[in-house]
Amino acid sequence: MTTHERACVRLFTDAAFPRGYAWIFPLDDGDDAVRLNIGVGMLRSDSRRGHTVTDFLARFETRNPMLRRLAPTAVGRERPIGCHVGLGGWNLHAADDNVLRVGDAANLADPLTGDGIGNALRSGSLVADAIARSRDAAEAASRWRRSCAEHFGPEHRRALILRRLLQSTPAKNAAARLLRASAGARGRLHATLFGEAPYRALLLPDA
């Protein structure tokens, strides 16, 4: 695999923020510089004095080995911007009367990775189909609830289980050892993180 054929993923863990998520995404590159999106996310229920998303970002910027190498070459920095990400839960609430919700409004972001773009686009297509196939608003809402539960419910529940299982440092270390020993497991994890395969693919045996 090369970076030209497929995006590369490197995973780092931090015991101080065991349920946090941080990222470094390239946005565009020009002749002289590459623009990066650097950010962090954490559960609101984990936030407390000295342990906020701002603290997490500062820690990520100073302790992450990749960012330490990049920092001396930076030519500019934008003001951090925060926003709520609607993570999926065990149960979905995608419709109320005549209001059909999609994407983050329906809390469809992956509860393990925080990724919401793929599910937002998919939910828009599915809700349009539900409306087109319905005779009235009540039928559209009912059809959308069933479609949403079928397409997103099982994956959200698997992601929530994985999030709980991988919270402790020993569990993360065990998972890292498994990934180091199995190229097949690394490939399956890569596919699930990028939405190319469902979480149940992680349980498939190596070929």
Domain extents for the chain? 1-83, 95-203
Q: Which residues contact 130 (CB under 8 A, 6 or more apart)?
A: 100, 140, 143, 144, 147
Tell me if the pTM is above 0.75: no
**Average pLDDT for 160-188:** 85
Residue holding tokens 């990400």? 85
Please report the pLDDT score of residue 9 as a whole number.
Answer: 66
Asked if 158 and 200 count as a contact pair (C-beta separation under 8 A), the reply is yes
Rounded Cα–Cα distance for residues 106 and 181 (Å): 38
State the angle between helix axes of 137-165 and 117-132 in degrees (0 to 180), rounded to the nearest 10: 160
Percent of the chain with pLDDT over 70: 94
Q: How many helices (H) does the chain have, and how many strands (E)?
A: 6, 4
The stretch 154-165 carries a mean pLDDT of 90
**21-35, 129-143, 168-182: the lowest-pLDDT one:** 21-35
Residue 154 has pLDDT above 90, yes or no: yes
The per-residue pLDDT for 42 is 87
